[in-house]
Amino acid sequence: MESGLGRSSETSLKASSSMASNTSRNTDLDQQGGHFNSMDQSCFARPSQSFPAFSPLFGVQSSSLYLPDDNEAKIGNQFEPNPSLNNPTVDWDPQVMLSNLSFLEQKIKQVKDIVQSMSSRESQVAGGSSEVQAKQQLVTADLTCIIIQLISTAGSLLPSMKNPLLSSNPAVRHLSNTLGSPMAFGSSCNQRPSSNNDATIPDITKTPDYEELMNSLNSTTQGESDELMKCQNPCGGEGSEPIPMEDHDVKESDDGGEGENLPPGSYVVLQLEKEEILAPHTHFCLICGKGFKRDANLRMHMRGHGDEYKTPAALAKPSKDSSSEPAPVTRYSCPYVGCKRNKEHRKFQPLKTILCVKNHYKRSHCDKSYTCSRCNTKKFSVIADLKTHEKHCGRDKWLCSCGTTFSRKDKLFGHVALFQGHTPALPMDDVKVTGASEQSQDSEAMNNMVGSIVYNFPGSSSDDIPNLDMKMADDTRYFSPLCIDPCFGGLDDFTRPGFDISENPFSFLPSGSCSFEQQNGDS
Amino acid sequence: MATPTQHHKRRRLSPLLHDLADELLFVILDRVAADDPRALKSFALASRACHAAEARHRRLLRAFRADLLPAALARYSAVSRLDLSLCPRVTDAALAALSTAPSVSAVDLSRSRGFGAAGLAALVAACPNLTDLDLSNGLDFTDAGAAEVAKARRLQRLSLSRCKQLTDMGLGCIAVGCPDLRELSLKWCIGVTHMGLDLLALKCKKLKILDLSYTMEEKIAVQIVKNCFPAIMKLQNLEVLILVGCNGIDDDALTSLDQECSKSLQVLDMSNSYNVTHVGVLSVVNAMPNLLELNLSYCCPVTPSMSSSFKMIHKLQTLKLDGCQFMADGLKSIGKSCVSLRELSLSKCSGVTDTDLSFAVSRLKNLLKLDITCCRKITDVSLAAITSSCPSLISLRMESCSLVSSVGLQLIGKRCSHLEELDLTDNDLDDEGLKALSGCRKLSSLKIGICLRISDEGLSHISKSCSDLREIDLYRCGGISDEGVTHIAQGCPMLESINLSYCTKLTDHSLRSLSKCIKLNTLEIRGCPMVSSAGLSEIATGCRLLSKLDIKKCFEINDLGMIFLSQFSHSLRQINLSYCSVSDIGLISLSSICGLQNMTIVHLAGVTPNGLIAALMVCGLRKVKLHEAFKSMVPLHMVKVVEARGCVFQWINKPYQVALQPCDLWKQQSQDLLVQ
């Protein structure tokens, strides 16, 4: 990046660098002045320290702004090697003023050239959008630069405007807002001036010069800047009109909500982001909705919202603080679009508390990651639900064939009685236990034993039946007690011809006392 | 049968049979079988065609071994009833092997064990037209099994007696799954509560017969009675409700019935429900005006008000008040209020006096059956009244009415000529009485045990006239000898059951003459020391249907008798051979009888542990009684193997006692006990 930037053309680099250095000097100067007024003389060392805190604002901003065009690329970096322009001159220098003005002149001419080239090309070619875009950004950046320069120059001239930052910062901040550095939000908070300072801002921004400048800006680059604004801040679609700080703060907490769709003024709707909801927080800021694990952290956070939260009372009991204020009734919206609890839903039903939001979001829009360890079927997304379930899970779980479960048997039977075709269902593990193991498991071994000894007939299949029937014919023979008849077995009963497997009973006796243990294959 | 060669053969062998339509042939076979049960077997063995015809004719299949069921069902394709009560062990695998048998509509597994839910599932799947299922005594029957049974949607009759593991869940499955259920027995299903019964009453509206005996324990009865008793009573088609031993039912439950009871109920059995008093009975009587039969045995004392309330039940035909205590005039009121009564049972009642009974029977002109067993206060007066006012009696049971004289007993034979069943056990009956009884030509059951005064002469009178006699009990009739038994055997060819125990004079001649009674299935000759194997062999060859044999203390009977039995008595189910001279060989040969179920082998001197266990290994016994001494001698693992096949061991610890007490001494002793 550095090397690429280094190849930029001489002139533009020079111009922009001088501008940037001037700006930085001025801001530094203003800051210094501010410190001077409000603080001790002993704080002289401050400027150099405070500068790095300030420079990234410019650095990032300018680099991002100038990046598309290599010409002005170096500027951002120029701050860093140039931190010590801390000349604490209070009176204005005509030399400096002169050079400033000449720089402005030069710069305006530059911008004019660019715009002219753009307008001539626009008539010729409709395409080349990337090039045009780059040019537009360049123009915007240059104009910003001019405005800053102009204001700082003018500010140095006005003796009443000696307070630091006032002349430069609001404008810068505003521009950064409209042009969209992400840092701008944070920095605006950091640099948030005291309330009486805020009151002066509109005065500055609405000076005729400024308005004129803005108008001229708009006349050239209205469309483009609109686009940019939309990209950065989708909620603030009011074009180039300057957005006051207070408005912006509200918008931020509202998170882009469209207030005009809500029912008239009954309550304020807050919508937390998904990440915020799922964070393991229990304490939430009533203003911005930020969550904390500990109440103490929340209280520390609340100090950032203003002095009224800094009182010992407020720090001790934040709840009293909110009650003392006539805070509007607050309701919450689920961030899941399409959900009935989402404020964009036609029949929006708000959630009452942040806890409701959390539980609702987890139950409705999150995976059920907690599985009951007892039944291994029920799943929950809220751990409290799991714990509630686990209290009842297990024995007293009464199941219907439709899948509904009941905590009480009489409820199940009431349900079964009510619905046609529903029948009480046995839990699956219960079926296994009672059906298989209880009686069969121990007798399974017995079956094997039995199988190995008893029905050891060579032909116990149906094929043998006709033969057996023939055998049955000789059961009327008179029995001679001296010989053991091979047809000794029960074959006389006509009620069971299918079972007349007549064998010598002794043949299925074990030959030894214990030989029955040997397995036979065909049983 | 379809192949041409077989067809030709069949034609050649029995052209007549071939031309006969199956319907006609089956009618013939039915008649032949009714006359001689063994005839069908001979027919089947005559030729292949006959064999096939018999197979097609067969409706009942009583299997000895469950593992051969598939083959049997393949052969007997028209079988509708499958009786597995002779298989002590029916495994899941055996049932799973069943192929689809659409003809089978009834299955009896009431005496089998070893099957679980999987087997029942296979059975239900194989028999799509199952309407009748008996799973009684299923100690292993669980809710899982019930869930499988519930898949037999056409089931109409189901018995789950003593399925103690069954709970509401299983019953609920059945109630939902079998909407056509007509008869259901839940006797001893103690796991069932009001919830299951409530659901049953709701889902099975076609129930006609419901047996809930012993289900309503006192603890849970409050719930049952409150929640489901009314629902059950309201079942539109319920005709028979059996509530034996339901101690939970009390007067409160019955009074709540009042008007909301099904009018279809005909039979109510509340015997042994001892929390019911006359108040509850009054409610029952009010709520069920269409009852035909009411059983209040062993319930509560019978007061005059209670018995007079019976007149609300106009159609009452049967009243059973066994074991009840009759208050003054209680019995008289019955005579006044229950005029239509046909059957009255008063056995073991206290407080039955001559005057009351005489008055009652004088009003009950329609009485057909009377049971006054052990009403020891009645005398000849009552008997005179009974015989004079109820000449159409067909059943009279009056065991141990010891005050009735022999002269009084003569009245029975003289006046009640329609008697079919008569029990005069332990009475003062003599030959004159028997001579009088010869007028009862329809007599089919005669019990004259412990009547020491009868002799061969009296029996000859019976044999001459009572040719329909099927059952005769001559227990401890010490006066009779071979001659009398021969008279009976010759005169009563239909005899099915005879008890000659302790008739010590009998010898092999008696058995030889009894062997002519080919329908004899029960023979008890306990304590006849002069009977030997020769006589038993005659019985074995002659009485092929013999199924129950008691030869205890027939010391002369040895292995030879057993070998004859094993060869010929293939219907034998139960045998007691204690004290006989049977050794291992006899035992082992006996064990080859497939259907043998029960065996009592106590004090057999010749039997060794090895022989015993060998015999037990072979035969598929259900229950065996052995002397306790064997318990230590028989290897434990052998016992377990036998038990695994479904056999139950019962260890007897009675002293060895060979001497036989003379009958008169024995009777004297028993009466002495009564006095005490």
Write the DSSP string, B511-528. HHHHTT-TT--EEE-TT-
* Partner-chain contact B544 A492, CB within 8 Å: yes
What 3 state SS string does A447-499 have? HHHHHHHCCCCCCCCHHHHHHHHHHHHHHHCCCCCCCCCCCCCCCCCCCCHHH
Contact B72, B101 (CB under 8 A): no
Report the gap between the CA of A516 and the closest CA in chain B (Å).
10
**CB B608: neighbour CB atoms within 10 A?**
14
Distance CA A152, CA A172 (A): 11
**What average pLDDT does the segment B648-666 reach?**
88
| Single pTM value for the model | 0.62
Alpha helices in B20-68 (DSSP H): 22-35, 39-46, 48-57
Strands B522-524 and B548-550: parallel
The pLDDT score that the predictor gives to residue A156 is 65
User: Which helix or strand (DSSP H or E) is residue B648 part of?
Assistant: strand B648-652
| Chain A contact for B605 (CB, 8 A cutoff) | no
> What would the pLDDT profile of B207-229 be if each residue is shown by its tens digit?
999 999 988 776 655 666 666 77
Contact A194, A37 (CB under 8 A): no
- Please name the member of B114, B199, B617 whose beta carbon is closest to the beta carbon of A416: B199
Contact B475, B450 (CB under 8 A): yes
* Secondary structure class of A93 (helix, strand, coil): coil
**CB A105: neighbour CB atoms within 10 A?**
11
What 3 state SS string does B293-324 have? EEECCCCCCECHHHHHHHHHCCCCCEEECCCC
Label residues A332-360 b or e (16+ Cβ within 10 Å = b). bbbbbeebebbbeeeebebbeebeebbbb
The pLDDT score that the predictor gives to residue B260 is 67
- Outline where DSSP puts E strands in A228-329: 268-271, 283-284, 291-292
* Partner-chain contact A447 B644, CB within 8 Å: yes
Residues 194-233 of B with CB under 8 A from A: 195-196, 198-199, 202-203
A331: alpha, beta or left? (left if phi > 0; alpha if psi -120 to 50):
beta
- Closest by Cα among B470, B496, B494, B498 to B484: B498
Closest-approach residue (CA) in chain A for B203: A417
DSSP code string of A265-290: TS-EEEE--HHHHHSS--EE-TTT--
* Partner-chain contact A508 B177, CB within 8 Å: no
- Per the model's pLDDT, the better-predicted residue between B35 and A465 turns out to be B35
Distance CA B294, CA B273 (A): 13
Distance CA B430, CA B424 (A): 11
Distance CA A451, CA A428 (A): 30
Contact B568, B542 (CB under 8 A): no
What 3 state SS string does B328-356 have? CCHHHHHHHHCCCCCEEECCCCECCCHHH
The pLDDT score that the predictor gives to residue B566 is 94
Model ipTM? 0.80
C-alpha gyration radius of chain B: 27
Contact B65, B41 (CB under 8 A): no
- Please name the member of A439, A453, A472 whose beta carbon is closest to the beta carbon of B45: A472
In chain B, what residues touch A439 (CB-CB under 8 Å)?
Answer: 114, 116, 140
Q: Tokens 């219960």 belong to which residue?
A: A430
In chain A, what residues touch B140 (CB-CB under 8 Å)?
Answer: 438-439
The pLDDT score that the predictor gives to residue A295 is 79
- Closest by Cα among B514, B546, B543 to B528: B514
- Per the model's pLDDT, the better-predicted residue between A275 and B371 turns out to be B371
- Please state, in angstroms and as integers, the Cα–Cα distance from residue B388 to each residue in B171, B270, B371, following that order: 52, 32, 16
Interface test with A, best of B73, B83, B169, B536 (most A CBs within 10 A): B169
Contact B380, B405 (CB under 8 A): yes
> What would the pLDDT profile of B500-544 be if each residue is shown by its tens digit?
999 999 999 999 999 999 999 999 999 999 999 999 999 999 999
From first to last of its 523 residues, chain A has per-residue pLDDT tens of 444 444 444 444 444 444 444 444 444 444 444 444 444 443 344 444 434 444 443 433 433 334 344 444 444 444 444 444 444 444 567 777 788 788 788 888 888 888 888 777 655 554 456 677 777 887 887 887 778 777 777 766 665 444 444 444 444 444 444 444 444 333 333 444 444 444 344 444 444 454 554 555 444 444 444 443 433 443 333 333 443 333 333 333 333 333 334 454 667 787 877 777 776 666 777 777 777 777 788 888 887 887 777 666 665 654 544 445 556 778 888 888 888 888 888 888 888 887 788 888 888 888 888 888 777 777 888 888 888 877 777 655 788 888 887 878 888 888 998 988 898 888 765 444 444 434 444 444 455 554 444 443 333 333 333 333 333 333 333 333 333 333 333 333 333 333 333 333 333 333 333 333 333 333 3
* Secondary structure class of B193 (helix, strand, coil): coil
